[in-house]
Each structure stands twice: as C-alpha cells, then as structure tokens.
Structure 1
Amino acid sequence: MAYLADVLHFILGYIVPFLLVLTLIVFVHEMGHYLVGRWSGIRILAFSVGFGPELLGYTDKRGTRWKVCAIPLGGYVKFFGDEDPASVPDYSRLDQYSTEDRGRTFLGAKLWKRAATVAAGPIANFILAIAIFAVLFAIYGKPVADPVVAEVKENSAAAQAGVLPGDLLVSIDGTPVTTFDDVRRYVSVRPETPITIQIKRKGELLDLPMVPERTEITDQFGNKMELGIIGILTNQETGNFRLQHFGPIEAVGQGVIESWHIVTGTFNYLANLVTGRMKADQLGGPIRVAQASGQMATIGVAAVLQLAAVLSVSIGLLNLMPVPVLDGGHLMFYAVEAIRGKPVGPGAQDIAFRIGFAMVLMLMVFATWNDISSLLG
C-alpha cells in the first residue's frame, strides 16, 4: 500500500506538473509556427503536441490534424510539402504538385514568409514568458531590497576589497544597480571574473575591484549549483525588504526585463562553460525539469508559472541556435538563400540536418546523463 502511495505521489507531485509546464510551452511554441504559417497561406497538415503514436486527435475543416501523441517531449507543426515533422522539404515530390498546390507548400512560400513562420515559434516562447512574468508582477508584486550591505563575510572577496556594512552599492562595471537582486544576478554568472563595484560610503563614491569566488551552494530542495559569490548579505532592516507592485503596462516592461536577464544569464553561463569557469553538469534535461516542476509545485502555482516562464525563454533561445533541425538552423539556411539568391541544395541540407540531429541527440543524452548523475549523487 505504501508503494502505491509513493507511486501516486510521484505521479501527482512530479509527472503532472512537468507535463502541464511542458505542454504549455510546446503548445505556445507550435502555435506561433501555426498562426504565422496559416497567415502566410501555407497549408498545415498536422499540429502535434508530443511525438510517436497518436493518443487522441481530430481533423478540422481545413484538413489540419490536431493531435496529442504518446511521447510528451516536444511537438511539431507539419506543413504541406514537408518530408517529416522537422520541416525538411520533400524535393522529390515538389515537381508533382500543381502550380496552386506548390504555392501552398512551405517551400513554395516567399523567403520572408518562411523565415517569419520559423521565427514565430521561439518568438511565441518569449511572448509567453513576458506575459507570465507580467501577470505575476501585477498580481503578486516583485520582491525587492535596497542594495545596502548588512553583513560582509570574513575572508570573502568583498571583505578583501574593503566593503563594509552600511555601504550602498551603486554600480558594477559601470552598470547601475537599484536592488540587491541586481547585484546577486550580475555576480552569480561571473565566477572568477574580475569586476569593479562602486559603493557610496558617507557621501563618497569608491571603486572597489574584486573577483567573485566560484562557490557550490545548495538550495532549499537540496539541489547543488555553482555560482559566483562575493560574500555580502542584506537583511530586513538594512535592505528594507518589500513587494514592489506594477500597473499592467509597467508589469509588461518588467516581464521584458526579467526575460532579458534569463537570455543574458544563459549566454554568460555558456561563456563560462567555454572558459572553464563553470562545469557542464549544470546542463539539465527532462528529468531535472520534472524534478524542478515538482519542487515548485510544493511552493505554489506562482512558483510553477515562474518556472514555466524561465523554461519558455530557455526553449525559445535554444531553438534559435544555428543548428540544423532547430528553428535557428532553418533561419541560417534562409540567410544563406537571401545572400546567394537561391536555396541551399537538397544534398547539402540533408547532410546538415543529419549532423544537426546528431548534435541535438548528443546534447539530450548528455543532459539526461547529468540528470541521472545528479539524482544518484
């Protein structure tokens, strides 16, 4: 009986939140492709959430098959004239279509329409993230604290640089900071990277150079991660912790800013990965996402939505990478086509798609291995 209870807890606590978050992100991404593709006059054969055998679905009056498939790790929109769900054109059948039908294929559409249709998926992910953040900030507010130091840890980078309790943090590397979280966000993605923090002390501005230490921290759920730390803390009295509320328009602006922070943080992480300042074991796959979904579900709906926003930006950004098979790979081919005045040849595209598929598969295997190692560790 206890075993069944554990299984039920695992399904309801981890699998269900994971599927809800992933389905929302995938649906919005593919809806971006669908809406712009339909607007461009391209016939759409299928809209699928998931891969593999179809579990349920129906065909609308336009001939589009809407379906949910058995493997819920993605989705696709299949256009008329595509060889497969990855939007690889079926050149062998293109000449068999009538002039009217060829105009309704994806390959037969004008270059800018194809590019807009492909880019619409990642853009939809960014819009979703901005919308979620905006709703959260408008309803719940945004927790903020003034960038004033309450405590400096002994022998830390900040202590060695001369930071003292009561110092007001003004800017980092010339970038103004208005909240304590601005400092944390900037420093955390720059381990072992020299920075200069400008502080205000008794009306005097001081520039203090320091190097954030690469430190492994453990969050409230026991997850370990490496971040840059300079060793300063604030508290309720010093930082004046509060919830900052925004009107609808301001909330959207904050949603844009929050989404942009995720984008820049991702690029900073990748740069640190290349330079060896951070480890690749922080790259997570579906298991870690499921784990995070379950953990956020224990906090509340707002936490799950915030995770969905972060993942939506990440998936949108990943899809824009110039790797064949991904949306960014297609956009790369269209850029070449615009320069050359003609499409990349079918043979070259086929080789590129095979290489791209292998790269994506290796990344998935590596991320899943990280997930398993994290669980076992």
Structure 2
Amino acid sequence: MNAYSGIMFSILSFIAVIGPLVFVHELGHYAVARFFGVKADVFSIGFGPEIFGWTDRLGTRWRVACLPFGGYVRFAGDMDPASSGRPSSEWLALSPEDRAKTFQAKKAWHRFLIVLAGPLTNIFVAILLFAAVFSVHGVARSPSVVSAIVPHSAADTAGLKVGDKITAVNSYKVNYFNDLQPVVQMHPDEEVLIKLVRDGRAMDVKVHLKAEHFQDRFGNSSRIGLLGILGGAPVIVRLPLTEIPQAATSAVGTMLHEQIDGIGQIITGRRSMDELGGPIRIARMSGQITELGFLPFVLFMAAISVNLGFINLLPVPMLDGGHLLFYAMEIIIRRPLTPVIQTWAFRFGLFLLLSLTLFATLNDLGVLVWLKQILG
C-alpha cells in the first residue's frame, strides 16, 4: 500500500468509525426531543452543502452533506449557540402553536434530558458492541493469580509472591488477570496500591511500577507501566446470555474509569500532553486497526464511542456537558443564567476547544516534537 492509498484508507476507516457514532449520538438527542414534542428542523449527516435529502411528514429535513466528519440535529427554537432557552426575537415571532414545539419552550429538565441523551446513547452503543463481541468470541476469564514473577521487576522488589491473588489496583477492582494490564500500563513510574490475598489473608502492598517505551507494529510509541508478573494460560469463557449485559456494562464502566483517571493524570502533570491526539491521530489509528480485522475494528469503535460519550459529558461550554451544567443550575435557581454569563462562558468554551484542537493537531503532525528538539 503506497502513501496515497494509505492516507485514503485511513480517511475511509475514520469515516466508518466516526460517522455511525456521531449519527447515533444525534439520534439520541432527536429521539428524546421527539418524545417531549420538540420539532426537529434538520437532521444532518455530515456538514457543508447538501448532497441529497428528504423532508419527512413531521417537517424534519434529513440530509446527507458533503463533509462526512460528524453531523448535527437542529431543533425548532434552538436559535442561539448556548441553547439557553431564553426568548429571542425569532422565537417571539412564532405563533403560539409553533412556539410550543420549540426547544426553548420546554422545561429546563426536558432540555437537560434531551442533551444528556446524546452521550448516553454513545455509552449504550458501546455496551451493545461489547455484548456482541462477548456473545460471538467469549470473554477472557483467567484467574488474577500470580504464576510467575520477573526477576528484578517492580513486583519482585515489592515482595509479591507466586500464588498471590490480586483483587484491586488503586481504585480499580480486579476480577480476572486481564483486568490488570490496562490499569498497570496507565501508571508508568508511579506508586500504586495493590490489594491481594495471600494464604487466605488480605494484604495491601505498595508497588512502584517501572516504565517502558512500547512501540507497536505500526510504529506508534507510548510510555507504559510494568509490574512484572505472569498469570496462568488465557481462558476464554462462553458466558450465558443472561450474564453478557453485565459483562459488557462492566467493560464500559472500566473504560470510563480509565478516562477519568487519564484526565486526572494530565491535569496533575503525571501524564504528558504529548499523548493528547486529535482527528489525524484517530484517523491514522482507524486505518491501522482496520488492517487487523473486523473484531479489533469493532472493539476500537466501542472504545471511541465511550470516548465520545465521556468527552461530551465534560462540563465545558460548547460541549453537551456545558449545556447540562447550565440547565442543572437553571433547575436549582429556577431561572436561566444571565445572557452575559452564558455568552462569555460559551466564548471561553469555544476558545478552549479550538486551542485544544489546534494543540492536538500539531501534536498529531509532530510539529510540537520538532519544536522541542529545535529549542533543546
């Protein structure tokens, strides 16, 4: 595959991952809005000029646009960037009948649920994807018992022993051996608290994990934590159908926990901002994962769906979480925040998102690494 073909393959893979996830995100908003009687003017798959579309019997214009990197749903009466619900001249000009079908006319808790539905739909879709994978391929369920310890490793230095059953690492519950790897890798060169059972007695052991720069088959490099233990042979278990929803929900819950942990590490400086990636990195990873086969692609889509839901729940103006914060405050104080406060908050949110997008894009292109090398 030449460079041009590789780029096109990555772009198409990125569209195949992001397109459906953005669609279901907006569909979540749309479905709850319709439940509360809000009219949707436009449901767009993609941005920019319309390629084709149709108008349904409810007056919603369903359109496919030329830039397939996302989408949006625009509700009647949603006429300001903050979706604040405060009256505007356009809204006041509507007839009482049409006004009753607008987003602005709904109670604050209705608007709260409409906005919340998008991120929650992404999280629910991730649960469905994990459930589908577990139904077809089973679940790794090897016991979290230490079968061997690497000499001079972090585990060896801390005094872990063969036969120890690990039950938790920091705030992460460990049920099976495969639960350990993602948690340990997230904490390179950090001290973690490991809870274990040895000879029937519960113990807490502090372990300072070692760090290693890992490079995958595609040349992607990352800094990961190392514990230095081995478990038993992998065991793939076929779960009863009644247990699959709980297993899928638990997998998504762990991923959300990791997202929160990762944000905390970046804020506290324990994780480098160099690991922050944007659309270019996601597109490159989409192409790489797609090359590995259908199963890795589905798991990657589930991970991106969790990420999309989590990011949108952050209380940052311009994201769903920012709207949710304002609606929650409106419910508590029983009136919307002043237009000045909302306007400046959303200006700050826009500046923050554009800054992070620019930073992540420069990171993806390697510009920041190049500047660091030039500046020493």
TM-score > 0.5, shorter chain as reference: yes
Moved over 6 A (4+): 374-377
What residue is the counterpart of 1:122 in the other structure? Answer: 119
User: What stretches of structure 1 of length at least 5 have no aligned partner?
Assistant: none
Give a deviation string over 1:91-134, Cα, whole Å, max 9, x none: 23122112211111101112221111111100100110000000
1:179 aligned to 2:172?
A: no
What residue is the counterpart of 2:341 in the other structure? Answer: 348
Give a deviation string over 1:223-261, Cα, whole Å, max 9, x none: 112222222233xxxx12121222333111111111111
Any idea what SS the aligned residue of 1:248 has? coil
What residue is the counterpart of 2:249 in the other structure? Answer: 256
Q: Which amino acid aligns with 2:46?
A: G
1:16 aligned to 2:9?
A: no
Change in Cα spacing, 1:174 to 1:310, as seen in structure 2 (3 Å) is closer
Number of aligned residue pairs: give it: 369
What residue is the counterpart of 1:219 in the other structure? Answer: 216
Stretch moving more, 71-80 or 160-169: 160-169
What residue is the counterpart of 1:302 in the other structure? Answer: 295
1:373 aligned to 2:370?
A: no
* Alignment check: 8 A CA contact 1:78 1:84 kept: no
1:95 aligned to 2:92?
A: yes
Any idea what SS the aligned residue of 1:70 has? strand
Q: 1:73 deviation in Å?
A: 2.7
CA RMSD of aligned residues (A): 2.4
Q: Give the Cα separation in 2 of the matches to 1:102 and 1:155.
A: 71
Instruction: Note the 1:87-166 alignment, pairs <5 A.
Output: 87=83, 91-166=88-163
Q: Which amino acid aligns with 2:268?
A: T
Give a deviation string over 1:325-374, Cα, whole Å, max 9, x none: 11111111111111221112233322222211111111111111221119
Change in Cα spacing, 1:82 to 1:307, as seen in structure 2 (3 Å) is same
Q: Give the Cα separation in 2 of the matches to 1:103 and 1:352.
A: 28
Give a deviation string over 1:20-52, Cα, whole Å, max 9, x none: 110110000000001111111111000112222
Stretch moving more, 28-37 or 159-168: 159-168
Residue 305 (structure 2) aligned to one of 287, 304, 312:
312
Q: 1:376 deviation in Å?
A: 8.4
Stretch moving more, 16-25 or 83-92: 83-92
1:228 aligned to 2:228?
A: no
Residue 281 (structure 1) aligned to one of 264, 274, 278:
274
Change in Cα spacing, 1:61 to 1:376, as seen in structure 2 (3 Å) is farther
Q: Which amino acid aligns with 1:16?
A: L
What residue is the counterpart of 2:324 in the other structure? Answer: 331
* Alignment check: 8 A CA contact 1:76 1:86 kept: no
TM-score (norm 1): 0.90
User: What stretches of structure 2 of length at least 5 have no aligned partner?
Assistant: 371-376
Q: 1:204 deviation in Å?
A: 5.9
Q: 1:206 deviation in Å?
A: 4.9
* Alignment check: 8 A CA contact 1:126 1:259 kept: yes
Q: Give the Cα separation in 2 of the matches to 1:164 and 1:363.
A: 44
What residue is the counterpart of 2:192 in the other structure? Answer: 195
Give a deviation string over 1:239-287, Cα, whole Å, max 9, x none: 1212122233311111111111111101111111122221112121111
* Alignment check: 8 A CA contact 1:170 1:176 kept: yes
Change in Cα spacing, 1:337 to 1:163, as seen in structure 2 (3 Å) is same
Q: Give the Cα separation in 1 of the matches to 2:88 and 2:254.
A: 41
Give a deviation string over 1:117-153, Cα, whole Å, max 9, x none: 1111001001100000001001111233322334433
Any idea what SS the aligned residue of 1:249 has? coil
Q: Which amino acid aligns with 2:253?
A: W
1:57 aligned to 2:50?
A: no
Instruction: Note the 1:19-30 alignment, pairs <5 A.
Output: 19-30=15-26
Q: 1:211 deviation in Å?
A: 1.5
TM-score (norm 2): 0.90
1:293 aligned to 2:279?
A: no
What residue is the counterpart of 1:46 in the other structure? Answer: 42
Instruction: Note the 1:259-274 alignment, pairs <5 A.
Output: 259-274=252-267
Q: Which amino acid aligns with 1:329?
A: G
Residue 63 (structure 2) aligned to one of 67, 70, 74:
67
Percent identical among aligned pairs is 38
Give a deviation string over 1:172-195, Cα, whole Å, max 9, x none: 458653321222233233334433
Q: 1:157 deviation in Å?
A: 1.4
Q: Give the Cα separation in 2 of the matches to 1:353 and 1:85.
A: 8
